[in-house]
A and B are shown apart, each in its own frame.
Chain A
């Protein structure tokens, strides 16, 4: 178990080294990057917007329902929504959802290319298949923080909507809560996390897709494994980054 994990980790880093060597012609790479931006970033916006808005609303309603003590000010609903959405929900939980959506897409598309010998075809032609397939994905996910920025905005908007429309808090109270003890570094922290999660989201599923063996069934298995390990990597790196960036 430990030996096989170490082999995977070693091979993952060797893969990353290969991804950045023997670059594909820029004229071709440019097109691949735009295609990946469309598939991975633009294609994820719909589900991210939908989830963020409604989960933001639920966070606000849950907070309101649990504030039973009349001494606790109502504006805390806005405060709690902001903190939950910016610090954890948008960067971490949306990333885990994306590990399922974006990650399984990456693993299955690369895995299918492996099964159908398309990767062998690239290699036989003398093309660095890792650079051709993985590099554009890594560049595309550098735009992932923008997705999370939109998620933060819509999460808070959803919180306002849920709180105000449910008559749990007034609009003014919610906005006061949003502005209360706001620490700008929290947003920076969230975007640092997001950038790292984005890299993990593209590279780990790519690894599992690229090195898979077998047929169609194994492509499915590789997607599931990729989702599990991407989620684990996100959770562990979340813990490490939070300790490093927010601990005093």
Chain B
């Protein structure tokens, strides 16, 4: 579980995060959504320790990040897996070497043990015939799978994903979303996803926070977001006619379902 308490972050005197507080629970896919410039990426990078926050506290399972010693911070980082927007795979290494990298860096496992674990996660993310290829030789979707495999190979407690669907076709995007959700449930990881993708919001948003101008404007889940009347959220999520239609249809169906349930109860 990651607990965020009143986080403030400024750049050159301009407040980008204005006192955000929330809890990201273990075993859930937590989504951060908001318009460009709302502070999503800064928030994610602050959680990761890439940006130092001005005030507030971030607790990783009770451990206050800013109070940790350098060694403790380094140890904590080995518990974090990160999937970057552009995958951030090491160009000079093969797929296999990229995935094995955290194990070679942070464990004293033998080569045989490392390869065993690498092949295990390769199977888990369903990467086929790509072991010896360089990142430039595989598709965007496969690169994302490699990035996920690298992020989970060292059994992280926390998984961060920065727009994991960007640049992917809708079908591959759904596959990647489902993969992240499955892994989150399977390994009991605290997963935080920074996304623009409305499919992801409606599919895997078990806990969603909506940022507007550096403020947490709304929080809920993928079911609640359909029924919310928060203008900012409605304006952002249902900005397209298609999503509006989907929303209306779901609301209509839910109303029908509720009426039916009430009727059934009355009859009983």
Give the interface of A toward B (CB within 8 A): 24-25, 27-28, 35, 112-113, 116-118, 120-121, 123-127
Contact = CB atoms under 8 A, between A and B. Distances in A.
6 contacts: A35-B92, A117-B86, A120-B50, A121-B90, A124-B50, A126-B77
Given A124-B50, A125-B77, A126-B78, A117 B88 contact: yes
Contacts of A113: 91
A116 B105 contact: no
Given A116-B86, A117-B85, A123 B74 contact: no
A80 to B, nearest CB: 45
Contacts of B160: 124
Contacts of A126: 73-78, 106
A121 B88 contact: yes
A118 to B, nearest CB: 5
Contacts of B104: 25, 27-28
Instruction: Select the residue from A113, A117, A118, A126 with max chain B CB neighbours within 10 A.
Output: A126
| A-B residue pairs, 8 tightest by C-beta | A126-B77, A117-B88, A121-B88, A126-B74, A117-B84, A124-B82, A118-B88, A116-B86
Contacts of A117: 84-86, 88
B188 interface: no
A113 B93 CA distance: 13
A25 B105 contact: yes
Nearest to B102: A125
B80 interface: yes
- Please classify the interface of chain A as helix (H, G, I), strand (E, B), loop, or mixed, using the class held by over half of its residues: helix
Given A28-B104, A117-B88, A123 B78 contact: no
Given A121-B88, A126-B77, 9 more contacts: A27-B104, A28-B104, A35-B92, A117-B84, A118-B89, A120-B50, A124-B49, A124-B50, A125-B106
B59 interface: no
A27 B111 CA distance: 12
- Please classify the interface of chain B as helix (H, G, I), strand (E, B), loop, or mixed, using the class held by over half of its residues: mixed
Contacts of B77: 124-126
Interface residues of B, number: 24
B174 interface: no
A121 B82 contact: yes
Nearest to B92: A35
Contacts of A116: 86, 88, 91
A120 B78 contact: no
B84 A125 contact: no
Interface of B: 48-50, 73-78, 80, 82, 84-86, 88-92, 102, 104-106, 160
Contacts of A118: 88-91
A125 B86 contact: no
Contacts of A28: 104-105
Contacts of A35: 92
Contacts of B76: 126
A127 B50 CA distance: 12
B45 to A, nearest CB: 8
Nearest to A124: B82
B105 A127 contact: yes
A117 B74 CA distance: 19
Instruction: Select the residue from A24, A28, A112, A120 with max chain B CB neighbours within 10 A.
Output: A120
A27 B101 CA distance: 12
B88 A120 contact: yes
Nearest to B45: A120
A118 B89 CA distance: 7
Contacts of B105: 24-25, 28, 125, 127
Contacts of B91: 112-113, 116, 118
A113 B75 CA distance: 24
B84 A120 contact: yes
B84 A121 contact: yes
A187 B49 CA distance: 50
Nearest to B147: A121
A95 B104 CA distance: 36
B23 to A, nearest CB: 22
Contacts of B90: 118, 121
A86 to B, nearest CB: 37
Contacts of B49: 124
A124 B80 contact: yes
Instruction: Select the residue from A24, A25, A27, A121 with max chain B CB neighbours within 10 A.
Output: A121
